[in-house]
Amino acid sequence: MADKTTRIKEAQKYLAKGQLGKAIAKWEKLVQEFPDGNNYNFIGDLYLKNDDKKNAVESFQKAANIFRQEGFSLKTLALFKKILNVNPADAAALYALGELSEEKELITDAIKYYLAAADSLAKEGRKGELFDIYKKILSLSPSNIPLRIKVAETLFKEGLKSDAAKEHLYIAGIYENKGDIPKAKESYRKAIGMQPLNKDAVVGLSCLYEKTGGIDEAIELMKEASVLFPEDVDVLMRAAELSLLRNSTENAKDYLSRVNELEPKNAKARRLLGEIYSKEGLKEKAVEELNLLGDIYYDRGAQKEALACYNDAIEIAPDNDYLYEQTAELGGEHKKEVPEFIESTGPAEGIEAAKDEESGRISIKAEKTVDKIFTEADIFCRYGLFSEAQALLEGLKLRVPENIDLHLRLKTIYSELDNKEAVVTECLILSGLFKRSGDTENSEKALREGYEISPSDPRLSEKGFTALIETTSRASKGFEEFSGAAAGEEGIGGDYEKELAKADFYARQGLAQEALRILLELQRLLPENRDIAERLEALGERPEISSVTETPEAKEKTEMSFEFLEGKEESPDVPSCAGETPQGKEIPEEGLEDMEYKDFPISKDEIMKATEMPKPMLGDDVLEIFQEFKEGLEPKLLEPKLDDEETEMHYNLGVAYKEMGLVDDAINEFQTVGNNKKRFLQSSSILGLCYMEKGLYSIAIDLLTRTLESARESDESYWSIKYDLAEAYEKNNNPKKALELYTEVYGWNAKFRDVSDKVGLKTTQAAKNPEKDKTTKKKSRISYL
């Protein structure tokens, strides 16, 4: 097999002849056998000369990765700069430069590169990688609100609503800590709008209302939450406690009873319910709750609390034998005198009476009223949970099959779910119900609505709808106006109802500006639409529109829209992160015969310039966010060193990160501690372990060796570091050095960790695998560096 030098000469001949394609093929074969950074870099230059930018960038990337692993940081920077000259928006190169900047603790530069990389990934649609970068940026400045808002908008735009809601929830917490209550409330509302079933957001907003004196708002919110989270004990308990603040005992009893059904041994719920019954004079129920509460404490071994409950119950019901038995067992003072035995003259009657009394105690869950179900369904609709509302209302069909309000609600829900067949079904049912009640006008309206939704539905033909249209003056003015409005709505892309629903949602959540923006745009497209005009007036706007007589249909449509319709929050357009960048300069055409393989075809001047990191192009929107970062970061960067308190904070944070498996974050914290004398040995030794976890054994060996030099041999920490150093050598495939260090530790303390096992194992391995003949001539290693 030809050696590397021979292969290079063969490839060089093709270059001299101008046969670039064959030269590249030769170099590709060569690099498979000798995959080093120099070879990949030279192939990249050849591809670039051949105007193959894609393969050129790939080759430069491979070269940069190799040099980076080998610790040649300047050559790595030079190669990434070459990549950006070819493609200024190369996400991998920008991200790598961000990492290199972060390693050098140039946080401002790191953020700049990460933002540019995120912009490139966004344009390429690489969603998964994009959000990893955003998380990395946020970890560098977790309290940066503008960036978090941008991340939330991007997540929502990509359909990741729960993640977007989490970001707004985090932002709400930042605002709340700063004391900016209005913005905190707005962020909580946005989180709920994006993810209605986000319990943390609902409870957080409720707590904020309570904290600022808005008890009624908090109660109303938790009332809705109890419908959204019907089996969540925390939600129900909070709803009960808030109700008690307003002395709404009936609601509190309802919530607490539901808690008891879910968690029969919830002591807090039993206690509150017992207190309510006691205040209301319902002695029997109060005793029952106190009795159950005492049993709960008794089962938990809390005898003192149990005895107190039983004693309280005895004060209310002094004739309860069970309570006396329990207090006697627990050492209480209550003793009940045994009453004189009185023979029962009617045992059968007594038994029956007892049965009746016992049956009276059985709690049968009361069936919800129709109005209550309607209220819960409306709440579901308000939060866009139409499937849940549908399930709730369909259960009413058997109970109240002829309830017009029920079918109106179902029709709206089916429309939101785009179930045309079900909508037509409800239209037919409503038509029949209206006709039966003598309301011919609304009966015909329902049929018309069904026909507009599905003209070909055979059920409408059976109803003779064609004849109906002819007999009711199809071309009448009112119907023309209705049709005209529908046509206009279709003219804006069929999104009229959705946009209107979005505006309704924003208005309900208190986001007036967002609602106003949507309504004004709709009014521009449909200037005579009465629904839009009424909503604008409700928001304080008095638009100039043509005077159009409102038809009953329009009025009904408006009311139904506000009551039932619910849209999804609009995703704001996310501004791009980086602006247009100039194309990289191509290498000037030169004679291929002049291209010779050199050690590293980048001049010293180019390498020195690489220390000045190439600046990515940032657009105005990202530049604004970047300035926010800079203002928050620069004061910290100007500090010459950390004080003891800050050192301790970073050290403890590093330990916590390592315990949680966040090795990269731990490394960052321990590197921040740096050479601080107070924590140098501890942070450096743990940092070495972190490097080992990452597989960076050479770096770990270098660090632990330097750390060992600073430790005193008389301290146990010295031997602990030496043991870790031995382990690093072992994992770096240097068993001889590892055995040497393990043996030294063994000589100090044979019982230290598992050093005796290590020494025994390494000695056995050395005996089984003796070193090869040391006189064997080693091959000379050619270096092109």
The yes-or-no verdict on residue 156 having pLDDT over 70 is yes
Token duo for residue 527: 């200037």
In a domain, 384, yes or no: yes
Rg for the chain, CA atoms, rounded: 39
CA 615, CA 97: separation in Å to the nearest integer?
10
Q: What is the mean pLDDT of the chain?
A: 73
Residues 660 and 537 grouped into a single domain: no
Single-letter residue type at 482: F
Of the given ranges (48-62, 278-292, 577-591, 717-731), which has the lowest mean pLDDT? 577-591
In a domain, 419, yes or no: yes
| Listed ranges 208-222, 341-355, 516-530; the one with the highest mean pLDDT | 208-222
In a domain, 390, yes or no: yes
CA 187, CA 178: separation in Å to the nearest integer?
13
Residues 543 and 424 grouped into a single domain: yes
Are the CB atoms for 601 and 42 separated by under 8 Å?
yes
The yes-or-no verdict on residue 471 having pLDDT over 80 is no
Residue appearing with tokens 């050492």: 331
Give the end of a domain, one of 535, 564, 593.
Answer: 564
DSSP state of 437: T
> pLDDT band at 125, cuts 50/70/90?
confident
Higher model confidence: residue 738 or residue 588?
Answer: 738
DSSP state of 578: S
Contacts of 187 (CB under 8 A, 6+ apart): 168, 169, 171, 172, 175
Contacts of 137 (CB under 8 A, 6+ apart): 111, 114, 115, 118, 147
Residues 391 and 527 grouped into a single domain: yes
Of the given ranges (81-85, 572-576, 639-643), which has the lowest mean pLDDT? 572-576
Residues 554 and 653 grouped into a single domain: no
The string of DSSP letters for 79-133 reads HHHHHHHH-TT-HHHHHHHHHHHHHTT-HHHHHHHHHHHHHHHHHHT-HHHHHHH
Give the end of a domain, one of 564, 588, 609.
Answer: 564
- Helices and strands, counts by H and E, the chain: 41, 0
Whichever domain contains 681, its CATH number is 1.25.40.10
Are the CB atoms for 291 and 308 separated by under 8 Å?
no
In a domain, 648, yes or no: yes
In a domain, 254, yes or no: no
Give the distance, in angstroms, between the CA of residue 142 and the centroid of all CA atoms in the same chain.
15
Residues 560 and 660 grouped into a single domain: no
572: left (phi over 0), alpha (psi -120 to 50) or beta: beta
With H, G, I as helix, E, B as strand and everything else as coil, classify residue 583.
coil
Full-model pTM: 0.44
Higher model confidence: residue 688 or residue 458?
Answer: 688
In a domain, 536, yes or no: yes
Residues 403 and 539 grouped into a single domain: yes
H-helix segments, 589-748: 604-609, 620-638, 644-659, 663-673, 680-693, 697-710, 716-731, 735-748
In the chain, the number of structural domains is 2
What is the per-residue pLDDT across 750-781, written as a single tens digit (0 to 9) for each?
A: 888 888 888 887 677 666 665 544 444 444 44
pLDDT at 548: 37
**Residue length of the chain:** 785
What domain range includes position 503? 370-564
DSSP state of 588: P
In a domain, 422, yes or no: yes
What is the per-residue pLDDT across 325-334, written as a single tens digit (0 to 9) for each?
A: 777 777 655 4
The string of DSSP letters for 124-165 reads HT-HHHHHHHHHHHHHHSTT-HHHHHHHHHHHHHTT-HHHHH
The string of DSSP letters for 356-379 reads HHHHHHS-PPPPPPHHHHHHHHHH
Are the CB atoms for 430 and 446 separated by under 8 Å?
yes
The yes-or-no verdict on residue 362 having pLDDT over 60 is no
Residues 418 and 551 grouped into a single domain: yes
Question: How many alpha carbons lie under 13 Å from residue 396 in its C-beta half-sphere?
Answer: 23
pLDDT at 332: 52
Residues 398 and 520 grouped into a single domain: yes
pLDDT at 438: 82
CA 569, CA 572: separation in Å to the nearest integer?
9
Residues 691 and 548 grouped into a single domain: no
pLDDT at 524: 79
Give the end of a domain, one of 564, 587, 612.
Answer: 564
Of the given ranges (12-16, 342-346, 544-548, 572-576), which has the lowest mean pLDDT? 572-576
The string of DSSP letters for 705-759 reads HHHHHHS-TTSHHHHHHHHHHHHHHHHTT-HHHHHHHHHHHHHH-TTSTTHHHHH
In a domain, 137, yes or no: no
pLDDT at 728: 92
Higher model confidence: residue 482 or residue 745?
Answer: 745
Of the given ranges (45-49, 164-168, 608-612), which has the lowest mean pLDDT? 608-612
The yes-or-no verdict on residue 725 having pLDDT over 90 is yes
